[in-house]
Amino acid sequence: MTLKGAGKTETAEQPQQEIPRFGPSVKARMQNLRKILENSFIADLEHHAEIRSTNDRAIECGALADVNLPFLIIADRQTAGRGRGSNRWWTGPGSLAFSLLVGPETVGAAAASTCGPRRSGLVGLAVGVAVVDALAPLVPGHEIGIHWPNDVILDRRKLAGVLIEVLPDGKHVIGIGVNTNNTAADAPEEVRRRVVTLRDMTGREHDSTEILLAILRELQRQLGELVRSPERVTERTHELCLQRGKRLEIVQGERRIEGRCLGIAADGALLLEVEGNPQSVYSGVVTQP
Ligand code: BTN
């Protein structure tokens, strides 16, 4: 277990908003990290007060010979958090950002050679379901679900994002960002209206360690399901898909596909009705026409 940058973030002269909210002190943080290690399926972890991106760090760790998998990297603050495509991810103070490095067998890929984009697409769906199942009990009475491929949406705004990356040897990096105790009021102008946080929605602070543990528990369940019967994961994603019945436009490079969303197919594809015919979409960026 490694704790990085704790001294830096504990100094008295730090301005108020810079104090990380993951734990109030080094001792409390150590206790939280130990609790995560003892109560989840991860084998080891690393905590950073500040880092560029937990996914970047997970990719680095993936190249090390002696890393214990599943390996968790948590950060209080990311200075260059990454989203899908060329998007950036806003990690406001109090938000939860972490990456999990797992072996191919954990995501149901027998060997590196079976780790194609279709498999990582399925992993992304399983992760989306896990995050929804972990967070739904915290927001009773609100609409929570998934926008394909794996955005977690609460009352029409983005609560959490998932970035899956596959290493050449088949290890997967599962990066998750959850808007927990941050506030949309601190977000950059261009994202403010599109995001929602648990704190803004419920009017109270949430225990980041408990949220992380709940997500890890659901992740273990959904990744296990993916190994045993992937169609149960895609069925659940179909149920949770909030785009069903809506008109969507998918951009794939130069190509645009427009149609009515029919949901998620058994093989994980987004199903669109295009000119009366069902069409499967496996990749692309969704834009609302
Ligand atoms: C998206 O919605 O576009 C994906 C966002 C993923 C953000 C998380 S935060 C932890 C991990 N580290 C990163 O740099 N990105 C992911």
Q: What is the pLDDT of residues 235-286, one digit of tens each?
A: 999 999 999 999 999 999 999 999 999 999 999 999 999 999 999 999 999 9
Mutate to test the pocket of ligand 1, among 82, 174, 196, 219 (most ligand atoms within 8 A of CB): 82
Index of the ligand 1 atom closest to the CA of residue 52 = 14
In the chain, what percentage of residues exceed pLDDT 90? 82
Give the pLDDT of residue 6. 42
Ligand 1 atom at minimum distance from 176 CA: 8
CATH 2.30.30.100 segments of the chain: 247-287
* Number of the ligand 1 atom closest to the C-alpha atom of 161: 2
Give the mean pLDDT of 27-35.
92
Q: How far is the CA of 99 from the centre of ligand 1 (A)?
A: 8
Distance 90 CA to ligand 1 centre (A): 9
Decide: 264 and 270 in contact? Cβ < 8 Å: yes
Which residue has better confidence, 127 or 10? 127
Which of the residue ranges 12-16, 225-229, 233-237 would you say has the lowest mean pLDDT?
12-16
Mean pLDDT estimate for the chain: 90
96-102: strand order across its sheet? 2-4, 44-48, 71-75, 96-102, 172-178, 157-166, 151-154, 144-147
Give the mean model confidence (pLDDT) for residues 187-210: 96
In the reported structure, the alpha carbon of residue 92 is separated from the centroid of ligand 1 by a whole-number distance in angstroms of 12
Q: Are 143 and 286 in contact (CB under 8 A)?
A: no
The protein residue whose alpha carbon is closest to atom 16 in ligand 1 is 175
Amino acid identity, position 265: A
Residue ranges lining ligand 1, Cβ < 6 Å: 53-55, 78, 81-84, 87, 89, 97-99, 151, 161-163, 175-177
The pLDDT value recorded for residue 28 is 87
The larger pLDDT score, comparing residue 58 to residue 7, is at 58
277 CA from centroid of ligand 1 (Å):
34
Distances (CA, A) of 269 to 120, 242, 263: 12, 15, 9
Name the percent of the chain in helix, strand, coil, to the closest 5: 35, 30, 35
Please tell me the distance between residue 275's alpha carbon and the centre of ligand 1 in angstroms: 35
For residue 146, list its beta bridge partners. 152, 241
| Full 3-state SS string of 125-182 | HHHHHHHHHHHHHHCCCCCEEEECCCEEEECCEEEEEEEEEECCCCCEEEEEEECCCC
Q: Whole-angstrom Cα distance, residue 234 to residue 49?
A: 36
Convert the pLDDT of each residue in 121-172 to its tens digit.
999 999 999 999 999 999 999 999 999 999 999 999 999 999 999 999 999 9
Cα first-last separation, the chain: 47
Distance from residue 146's CA to the centre of ligand 1 (Å): 16
Distance 12 CA to ligand 1 centre (A): 30
**Above 90 in pLDDT, residue 287?**
no
Q: Using the Cα atoms of residue 278, residue 119, residue 106 and residue 73 in order, give the sign of their dihedral.
A: negative
**Nearest Cα to 39, choosing from 216, 159, 205, 251?**
216
Q: Please check whether residue 262 is in contact with residue 271, taking contact to mean a CB–CB distance below 8 angstroms.
A: yes
- In angstroms, the CA 121 to CA 23 distance is 34
> Lowest-confidence range among 25-29, 38-42, 93-97, 109-113?
109-113
pLDDT band with cut points at 50, 70 and 90 for residue 109: confident
Where are the domain boundaries for CATH 3.30.930.10 in the chain?
Answer: 2-240
Query: How many Å separate Cα 194 from the centre of its chain?
Result: 17
CA of 6 to the centre of ligand 1 (A): 23
Say which CATH topology domain 2-240 has: BirA Bifunctional Protein; domain 2 (3.30.930)
Residue 26: per-residue pLDDT:
82
pLDDT at 14: 40
pLDDT band at residue 119, thresholds of 50, 70 and 90?
A: confident
Q: Best mutation site among 176, 208, 215 for ligand 1, i.e. most ligand atoms within 8 A of its Cβ?
A: 176
Cα distances (Å, whole numbers) of residue 96 to 75, 91, 136, 262: 8, 8, 16, 32
Amino acid at 21: R
For the domain made up of 247-287, give the CATH fold: SH3 type barrels. (2.30.30)
